[in-house]
Structure 1
Amino acid sequence: MTERVIPDAGVCLRDGWTLYKQEPWLLSGATILLGVICGVVGLIPFAGALVYPPLLAGLYSMIIRLERGETITISNLFDGFQFFIPLIIASILMSIFISIGLFLLVLPGLYLVIVYGFTNLMIIDKKMDFWPAMEASRKLIHANFWRYAVLAFVLMLICIAGSIPMGLGLIVTVPLCLAAQYRFYRAVS
């Protein structure tokens, strides 16, 4: 039996970049569309919280399909709405748990931010309900905590750097970071 190799942040970024380069215009266009929709809907109180999780899951869906060699279109950005209820409930629960953890001692909240990192992927990829997806994400990441925490930190820095030029870099860094995260997810799931 061969042992599974857990990639480091550099490998995940390299593989994420390779995946992104397969459809850069489409993935960046979907990211722009996601931003525009969330920006407009965000003007309505609480509406953004109902739109962002399914759209993010849709962007993950595009990356998953691309990695599997399937054809993707901009309409795949809306794939997450097929899982609307689990995505919204997971988003609400994660926000509550993370907020409590941050309020109490900060470190438990940061831990939860990290270990719930695969929840949307589990819902969209494995068609799991919200609680099994949250638990599966927690267990998978906990087993590989430090390696994933390093990746999450690097991805956060990349997104911060992408946001500096008036957010323009995010049209590349967001899909790149999601693809890099997906690479890690595929290696451990």
Structure 2
Amino acid sequence: MIGAAELQWRMDFTIGSALRVGWATYKMRPWFFAGVSVLIGVALLAPAALIQTVSGNSSIIASLVSVFLVAPVSMGITSFYLAAHANPETATLSALWHFRPYWKFVGASLLLWPLNAVGEAASGISYALLTVASAMVLVWVMFTPFIVIDQELGPVDAILESIRLVRGHYWLLLGLLIAQGLIVAAGTIALLVGILVALPVVALSSVQAYRVLLYKAGPRQT
């Protein structure tokens, strides 16, 4: 039973509350979530090898090809964490097996692809500037994968819905992304073992932000 105080911080949106929910959810089944992180890493190995074979030395082609090949894994990851956030004690590995709606997900990924690919064509200071610019734009569309899987909206509608949810909360969400990046970096430094904790906590905190802001924004206008 969730107490009034815990319910309050679960329904508020701050950087701290999102991360607290991610951590609290992870602690309910730590070995399960850590094991899922290992499975996801293994699942990404095959597409990564195939992408390298198909694209050769072209990072731009590799990035584009990955949209199609990694989509099934990304959809499974998104579906799993949506389910795990909603019902952490009953979530199962079957949630990772989620391939619908594939073409909507790919379509959204292709529309967002330039945010990841543009920096790869530059180097040095240009790369750093483009990466920062891409990250700042990414905030507006960060909920797009959740929306495609959760609501099965088309690519354009999902992006517009993400923008609607972010409006009024941009700087908090940018701060959340920065905090998440620091958590993943710390997990990586911790002999890589920490990444098995960092990735689930970060993913669950993103779902928490999505669901709270979806509730606060109210029904979408059609």
What is the TM-score normalised by the length of structure 2? 0.72
> Which letter maps to 1:8?
T
RMSD: 2.5
* 1:18 matches 2:24: yes
Q: How does 1:110-189 map to 2 (within 5 A)?
A: 110-189=135-214
What is the TM-score normalised by the length of structure 1? 0.84
Unaligned runs of 5+ in 1: none
Identity %: 24
Larger gyration radius, structure 1 or structure 2: 2
Unaligned runs of 5+ in 2: 1-10, 52-61, 215-222
> Which letter maps to 1:95?
W
Q: Separation in 2 of the partners of 1:182 and 1:68?
A: 9
Alignment check: 8 A CA contact 1:30 1:59 kept? no
Q: Separation in 2 of the partners of 1:108 and 1:123?
A: 24
Alignment check: 8 A CA contact 2:47 2:70 kept? no
How many residues of Structure 1 are paired with residues of Structure 2 in the alignment?
A: 184
Q: Tell me the residue number matched to 1:69.
A: 87
Farther-moved stretch of structure 1 (67-76 vs 8-17): 67-76
> Which letter maps to 2:43?
I
Q: Separation in 2 of the partners of 1:96 and 1:39?
A: 23
Q: Tell me the residue number matched to 2:113.
A: 95
Ranges of 4+ aligned residues in structure 1 off by more than 6 Å: 101-105
Cα distance change, pair 21–56 in 1 and its aligned pair in 2 (3 A): farther
Q: Deviations over 1:120-140 (max 9, x none)?
A: 111111121222111111222
Q: Tell me the residue number matched to 1:9.
A: 15
> Which letter maps to 2:75?
A
Q: Tell me the residue number matched to 1:28.
A: 34
Alignment check: 8 A CA contact 1:26 1:73 kept? no
